[in-house]
Structure 1
Amino acid sequence: MNKSLLFTLLLACSNLYAHSDIPIQAEHGGTVKESAAGHQLELSYRPDSLTLYLKDHDGRPIKTSGASAVVILQNQQQQRRVALTPSGGNQLSTQGDFAALAGSVAIIQYTLAGQKLEQARLTLQ
């Protein structure tokens, strides 16, 4: 009986280690991070735009209609707040001067429609 109880406990505990340690791939050339809520975030920038892509923990795109986001960009010289708006599919974006962001810290604060504020921090490459 003790062996069957031990086996049952081991089987039940095995689900604790079921999450994946496989790194999240950047599909758009950006920097990726998984938030505490389990959302996969990819922040991508070009000289004239900044785009945030959202996916769920399993890698499925999350629709961003009704969502909002603010990115706080920090580097040695300055801190800047940038608002992002839904731009179709699983994207939130904005236009502006983003030419020199490599090495900057980005604090992403986002709210999906009907949900609470989430936050993630990453260093841009």
Structure 2
Amino acid sequence: MNHSATIYALLLACFINPASAADDHKGHAHNGKPGAVHAHEATARYGGVVSVIKDINYELVAKPDSLTLYVTDHEQPVDVRNASATLTLLSAADKAEVQLLPAGDKFLRAVGTFKVQAGTKAVALVKFGSKPAQQVRFVLN
């Protein structure tokens, strides 16, 4: 086979079965563009605000008497027994820093009195055991 015939055969093989390249991502939504990273569903499951970092959903449920952070990976709860988070709440005139600790194995929580309103920005530094902390940002609605 000459050089141009080899290239043609390789290109043809790519177009005949393009789905084989996506087998590792079955069940994920794709935007249809070549080389595109698959989209990850960011639906709030607990009534909070969701931020997705590296395929992990972080959902912050902010209430005046509690702050709860749910962590899920492809809709499955992530075990947070060895996790912690430092949450900084930023509003027009106020800044508060809160420690979120495991409340069982499914979420991190802090209980107290918190100024949470639409537009409040929250930045969480989430740490799982000895792994480096992950920064997650939220804007409350």
Correspondence 1:6 to 2:24: no
Q: Which has the larger radius of gyration?
A: 2
Residue 137 of structure 2 corresponds to: 121
Stretch deviating more after TM superposition (99-108 or 76-85): 99-108
Q: CA deviation at 1:103?
A: 1.1
Q: Percent identity?
A: 30
Which of 117, 121, 131 is residue 101 of structure 1 equivalent to?
117
Q: CA deviation at 1:89?
A: 2.6
Counterpart of 2:10, as a letter, is: L
Unaligned runs of 5+ in 2: 1-5, 23-34
Contact 2:63 2:116 in 1 (8 A): no
Identify if the C-alpha distance between structure 1 residues 7 and 109 changes in structure 2 by more than 3 Å, giving closer, same or farther.
farther
Q: TM-score, normalised by structure 2?
A: 0.75
Shift of 1:112: 0.9
- From the superposition, tell whether residues 6 and 24 of structure 1 become closer, same or farther in structure 2 (CA, over 3 Å): same
Work out whether 1:32 is the aligned partner of 2:37. Answer: no
Q: Which structure ranks higher in relative contact order (CA pairs < 8 Å, sequence separation ≥ 6)? A: 1
CA RMSD in angstroms, aligned pairs only: 2.2
TM normalised by structure 1 equals 0.84
Gapped regions of structure 1 (runs ≥ 5): none
Partner AA of 1:5 in structure 2: L
Q: Distance in 2 between the 1:111 and 1:41 partners?
A: 12
What is the aligned residue count? 122
- For the residues of structure 1 that align with 2:37 and 2:123, how far apart are their CA atoms? 28
